[in-house]
Amino acid sequence: MLVAGSIMTGVGAVNLLTSPLCKTSLIPRDTQDVCLGSSLAIGGVLAAVGVPLLLVGVSRHNTYVDWKRQHRTLAVLTDVGVAPTQGGAALTWSGSF
**Backbone phi, then psi, for 74, in 5-degree steps?**
-80, -50
3-state secondary structure of 68: helix
Residue 15 lies in a domain: yes
Asked whether 55 and 5 are in contact (CB, 8 A), the reply is yes
Helices (H), 1-97: 2-18, 32-70
pLDDT given for residue 92 in this prediction = 85
Taking only the tens place, the pLDDT of each residue in 17-34 is 999 998 888 888 888 999
Give the range of the structural domain holding residue 22, as residue numbers without chain letter. 2-72
Residue 40 lies in a domain: yes
Indicate the number of domains in the chain: 1
Residue 24 lies in a domain: yes
Q: How far apart are CA 36 and CA 21, in angstroms?
A: 8
Reference 16, options 61, 47, 55; nearest CA is 47
Residue 92 lies in a domain: no
Q: How confident is the model at residue 42 (pLDDT cuts 50, 70, 90)?
A: very high
Residue 97 lies in a domain: no
Residue 39 lies in a domain: yes
pLDDT given for residue 91 in this prediction = 87
